[in-house]
Structure 1
Amino acid sequence: MKYTIVIQWSDEDECFVVSLPEWGEFCHTHGDTYEEAFKNAQEVLEMLIKSSLADGQTLPEPKTLEKSLK
């Protein structure tokens, strides 16, 4: 999977909050530790991909980091 996973600490929630930007602004999960947040993000991504494919939907295009040419 080459989708973006953004993990940030939330003082308000007192946990790590994960955003999955290719899947929409409301697609989030969380974890008490960074490792748990990452594991939960992987599980959510797997479910999103399986669900989308089962429904015949097109998967979102993964965002990639552009390399500058010198």
Structure 2
Amino acid sequence: MAYLDPVAGKAREGKPAAAVTNAAAATATAAAGATPTKAEYDALLADNNALRTKLNGLLTSLRAGGVIAP
């Protein structure tokens, strides 16, 4: 039975993807008033950019590991 063949099983195994660390804690907080300040907006933007970078790194790792299509 082919599925019990350890050599054939090893050949079908995928290669592990590179590790991606967890995203850092958010730095943005709820706006103090009805309209966010520039500092509040900038903190939210920085968090968004950090998460985008983390997601792109994760997708790159998954592609390199053969988990998702390039």
TM-score (norm 1): 0.39
Q: Greater CA radius of gyration, 1 or 2?
A: 2
TM-score (norm 2): 0.39
The answer to which structure has the higher strand fraction is 1
The answer to which structure has the higher helix fraction is 2
Higher relative contact order (CA 8 A, sep 6+): 2
